[in-house]
Amino acid sequence: MPDSQCEQPQPVRLRPDQPAEHREAAALLAAGIARARSGTGGLVLLRGATGTGRTTVVEAAAEAAAAQGMRVLRSRCSPGWSAEPFAAVLQLLGPVPGSVQPGPTGDERERAALLWRALRAYAGDSPLLLAVDDVHLADGPSHRWLVEAARHVDRLPRPMLLAVTERSQYDIDPPGPGFAHTLSPALVDTHTLAPLTPDSATRLVRAEHPTAPAAWIESCVRAGAGSPLLLRALLDDLGAPAPHPTLPESSAALYPGSYPAAVRWWLDSAGSGTTDVARALAVLEEGWDRTAGDPGEPPAGLLAELTGADPARVAGWLTAMTGLGLLRPGPDGHPRYAHPLLRDAVLTGVPDTRRRALRRAAAEAMLHRGAPTRAVARQLLLSGPVGAPWAPAVLRDAASLALRDGGSDDAVAFLRRSLEEPLPDEHRQRVLTELGSLECAGRESSAGIPGSPRR
């Protein structure tokens, strides 16, 4: 039974491996629990991007509330419930006689009223905590019912705290209105979970690998990309002690594969539009890494053209993901994935034929958009044969530019790639002659360097 005077908040105890970024949210929930035990209900809304730890924080709060004598009802929403009316509420309240009506013709208001009466019955003995995770995935009737419950928390015989988590992340496809959209701000205590800072992520990695070198820890932090979900999955894969002297750049080197699975879940949560843009960016970035030089214009417009997305949304997504830590500005100022391992995980499951087709489309779009010749050629290096006259012309021009700037290795790569395209015999012979000269010059140059291996 709550005291008549205001209860002092008792801390919501997080696991030792939980980041400092969760403490403010835990304190907000602890204060809400104390108010409910003192006789005042309310709504606490925890928002955050995928993988920031919303579920972990609200589960810790539910355990704390139960330990303090509150009755706790929980519901974890999922995408599969969207077609089943009141699925989220029924998981919250348990079986309610008469609440399930055959067919879709049952009156929603009647069922909502019945479920409200069931909630009042639960609230008859002690303060109540309703913990609803991922409310953005709730079916429509449940979502409306929960909003009304938040609006009328003061109409129950005992105080109720409604603790709700909601995904809040910038996606290519604009989201619908949030849970608190129609509620007065006075009714809601809202907190948005922040991504991990580099210092917080470093502490989490060092707690499991105290003797690891600083460079290895910094690579883990970058691959974790500011996300507790991704960092925890990576550490699970690496094990203790970590078997890799350097962090792998391929997801295939990780076992049991928690990290690529977490990245896939992150993409699924973001939707198909975001997934298409994220994977197109990963493909472009692989091309940027092939040779040195100007990669051309900022990628937002090109990504929008390749995926059919709104250019403004793509530009906003690049900015938002840089803020979260999944992307970082590269040496050329263009956004790149925080670590090659993250980029590889984004592309996990994408067939090579799809990657090649995307690179061919990117090269042709870049050519039409006036991108630098070598930037276009870099995409062609991994695209496979295009079969169009412009492709070998671009590659030969890129080779000439590379030679002018002293990049003989790049020139060799461009010329070799041009031989994969259909060429007239005369042009093919010319490319072979030029390529042979460059390779011969490269061998002679290497032979003249003391200590260099002879071929």
The answer to whether the CB of 70 falls within 8 A of the CB of 126 is yes
- What confidence tens digit (pLDDT) does each residue in 262-310 have? 999 999 999 999 999 999 999 999 988 775 666 678 899 999 999 999 9
The class that CATH gives domain 20-192 is alpha beta
- What confidence tens digit (pLDDT) does each residue in 106-154 have? 589 999 999 999 998 887 778 999 999 999 999 999 999 999 999 998 7
Please give the pLDDT value at position 440. 87
CA distance 102 to 394: 65
Using CA atoms in the order 255, 256, 262, 265, what is the torsion angle rounded to 10 degrees? 130
Mean pLDDT of 61-87: 91
Question: H helices of 289-424, where?
Answer: 300-307, 311-324, 340-346, 352-368, 373-380, 390-404, 408-418
Please give the pLDDT value at position 448. 37
Of residues 265, 276, 263, the one with CA closest to residue 309: 276
Question: H helices of 44-85, where?
Answer: 54-67
% of the chain with per-residue pLDDT over 70:
89
Enter the DSSP assignment of 16. T
Please give the pLDDT value at position 455. 34
Please give the pLDDT value at position 443. 64
Residue type, 366: M
**Is the torsion defined by CA of 22, 24, 25, 31 positive or negative?**
positive
Which residues on neighbouring strands pair with residue 161, listed in sequence order? 42, 129
Answer yes or no: is pLDDT of 223 > 60. yes
CA distance 162 to 291: 55
Q: Report CA 66 to chain centroid distance, whole Å.
A: 32
SS (HEC) of 31-54: HHHHHHHHCCCEEEEEEECCCCCH
- What confidence tens digit (pLDDT) does each residue in 357-387 have? 999 999 999 999 999 999 999 999 999 999 9
Residue of higher predicted confidence among 315 and 246: 315
pTM above 0.95, yes or no: no
Answer yes or no: is pLDDT of 397 > 80. yes
Domain boundaries, the chain: 20-192, 198-268, 385-448
How many angstroms separate the Cα of 375 from the Cα of each of 112, 325, 344?
A: 59, 26, 21
